Copies of this chain bind each other. A is one copy, B any other.
Amino acid sequence: MGKERPPSAEDALIARYFKPLATDPGALGLDDDAAVLKAQGADIVVTTDAVVEGVHFLSSDPPDTIARKALRVNLSDLAAKGAIPAGFVMTLALRSVDDPWLTAFARGLGEDAKAFDCPLLGGDTVSTPGPLTVSITAFGRVPSGKMVHRGGARPGDRILVTGTIGDAALGLQLLKGGAVARALSQDTAAQEMLVARYRIPQPRNALAEALRNHASAAIDVSDGLAGDLAKLCAASGVSALIDAPSIPKSGPAAALLGGGVATVEMLISGGDDYEILCTVAETNCPSLAADAGRAGVALTSIGTVIGGTLAPRFLDAQGSEIALEDLSYSHF
């Protein structure tokens, strides 16, 4: 009398690993061609970032951290724009179906989706003979017209950055062996901290509303502080003076810098920080600092916006300009 419908392997994969994550009504249980996103009177902020095996993460990275990083690099963009997460869609390009790998990947993704209140709304799973690639498009909401742009910095604004800079770049160096690994061979705690900073960004979504209320411009630091500052300045038509000793560093980063293993250039051009760089009018600094304190996000003043179109300059403790070769990481 005919047969029951056999689900395809692709449908079975989605049902098993990702349907449990699609808790938002707009996801329609991943059973439709599309998802529904309610704007709720807000502007929708859209950001898209892909991570590629061997380029943005290592084949040996634990699968749950790959999922977390893929989502968090997008959450970091939403935070910098002052947006509250609303959900995401994901394209997963896989070479094969590896159940233990997918189980761990889906667990990490689900935990982060819940922690950041950013539910899975839909996606596409494709087969590739190439490297594993996770492409995520994330959505946030901001009150109409209130997205924080890159282009709002004005001469005289102070330049601030969250957290610490350079740890992720050092974590990657460590995983690759070499001088950083040798210098930290006896310090397991420092090793773990730096590797965690590379594998699992800590996006500053807790600061989103404060940025919207007080910042003149913001960008998330993904390609290195120097390069992303240059982008913010270019978009704003300004330049900047940075006091390099003020750039916030973790204990291990400061020790590696002091010991000559790391250089300022490594810290500010390495990328993968996923901190927020913002500019703030002097009069708004106390309010932003107070909000950051309440949100539990460290925020450090590192310099000043100035007029002009020169590349931002980084000054050492003597006020001399630090020569920089590569301003940021480029994929090509």
Point out residues on A near B: beta carbons under 8 Å: 1-6, 8-11, 13, 28, 31-39, 42-50, 52, 54-56, 77-78, 80-81, 83, 89-91, 93-94, 96-97, 121-131, 133, 135, 137, 139-140, 144, 147, 149-151, 219-220, 223, 227, 230-231, 233-235, 309-311, 313, 321, 327-328, 330-332
Taking a contact as CB atoms under 8 Å apart, the answer to whether A46 and B89 are in contact is yes
Please give the distance in Å from A141's CB to the nearest CB on chain B.
Answer: 10
| Known contacts A129-B131, A130-B129: A4-B147 contact under CB 8 Å | no
Taking a contact as CB atoms under 8 Å apart, the answer to whether B33 and A37 are in contact is no
A73 to chain B: closest residue by CB? B124
Find A131's partner among B34, B123, B125, B130 (CB 8 Å cutoff).
B130
Please give the distance in Å from A130's CB to the nearest CB on chain B.
Answer: 1
Contacts of A49 in B (CB 8 A): 91, 124
Find A220's partner among B33, B55, B151, B220 (CB 8 Å cutoff).
B33
Find A128's partner among B97, B131, B330 (CB 8 Å cutoff).
B131
Please give the distance in Å from A44's CB to the nearest CB on chain B.
Answer: 4
Taking a contact as CB atoms under 8 Å apart, the answer to whether A5 and B55 are in contact is no
10 extra interface residue pairs, beta carbon distance < 8 Å, beyond A9-B331, A31-B150, A137-B137: A3-B310, A4-B309, A9-B332, A33-B77, A35-B46, A36-B45, A46-B137, A89-B137, A91-B91, A93-B135
Specify the main secondary structure of chain A where it touches its partner.
mixed
Contacts of A129 in B (CB 8 A): 54, 130-131
Taking a contact as CB atoms under 8 Å apart, the answer to whether B6 and A327 are in contact is yes
Contacts of A130 in B (CB 8 A): 128-131, 133
Taking a contact as CB atoms under 8 Å apart, the answer to whether B47 and A33 are in contact is yes
Taking a contact as CB atoms under 8 Å apart, the answer to whether B33 and A124 are in contact is no
Please give the distance in Å from A199's CB to the nearest CB on chain B.
Answer: 18
| Known contacts A2-B311, A5-B311, A129-B130: A33-B235 contact under CB 8 Å | no
Contacts of A42 in B (CB 8 A): 39
Taking a contact as CB atoms under 8 Å apart, the answer to whether B127 and A331 are in contact is yes
Taking a contact as CB atoms under 8 Å apart, the answer to whether A93 and B32 are in contact is no
Contacts of A310 in B (CB 8 A): 1-5
A38 to chain B: closest residue by CB? B43
Find A332's partner among B46, B97, B147 (CB 8 Å cutoff).
B97
Report Cα–Cα, A147/B5, bound state, in Å: 26
Taking a contact as CB atoms under 8 Å apart, the answer to whether B89 and A8 are in contact is no
Taking a contact as CB atoms under 8 Å apart, the answer to whether B43 and A36 are in contact is yes
**A–B Cβ pairs within 8 angstroms, 23 of them:** A8-B227, A8-B327, A31-B150, A31-B151, A32-B151, A32-B235, A33-B80, A33-B220, A34-B77, A35-B47, A36-B45, A36-B46, A38-B43, A38-B44, A48-B89, A48-B123, A49-B91, A55-B126, A97-B332, A127-B332, A128-B130, A130-B131, A130-B133
